[in-house]
Amino acid sequence: MSDSASTPDPLEKERRVLMEFFPKVPFMKLMGFEMLDVGPGHARLSMNWREDLCQPAGILHGGALSSLVDTAIAQAILLTSPYHEMKAQGAWIVTLDLRLKFLRPVSSGKIFCDAKVIRAGRRVIHADAVVVDEHDKQVVLGDSMYMIVAGEQLEKREG
């Protein structure tokens, strides 16, 4: 009889690696994204309103919000079974479609993005996300499709 408590869960190890690696990624630092939680099929990220990420009217730029949604959904996908099974072969994920509904402006404070996988096929994954402000009012609704791309399909960069 084996003791399952002594057998490390490979997804838990991957989760810890993601949590440690995320804040070191230059784009995440640039945008000020913080990963609060991640697990198979879900992720929670946050960011603070910053003047340098605003449009001239002083509200958070739609591109910053779009990046938050896209990033949160990607993190939720990284621990799904279809991606995890292909990761060893150098697979990665790419956005096929990203749709947003901007519900209210963000002119101060912190926002939170909760992403969840709706359906994970062998190659295509559908997920959605909700961004809320500090008062739990919805700011953005997002919907996305991602594709798992085999390593050999990715263009190799030189240097």
Q: CB within 8 A of 65, min separation 6: which ones?
A: 100, 102, 106, 111, 131, 139, 140
Q: Block means of pLDDT (10 residues each) for the chain, length 159 residues?
A: 60 87 95 96 97 96 98 94 83 95 98 98 96 98 95 62
Q: Which SS3 state, helix, strand or coil, does residue 70 take?
A: helix
- Contact yes or no for 45/36 (Cβ under 8 A): yes
Domain boundaries, the chain: 10-153
What pLDDT, on the 0 to 100 scale, is given for residue 5? 58
Give me the CATH topology for the region 10-153. Answer: Thiol Ester Dehydrase; Chain A (3.10.129)
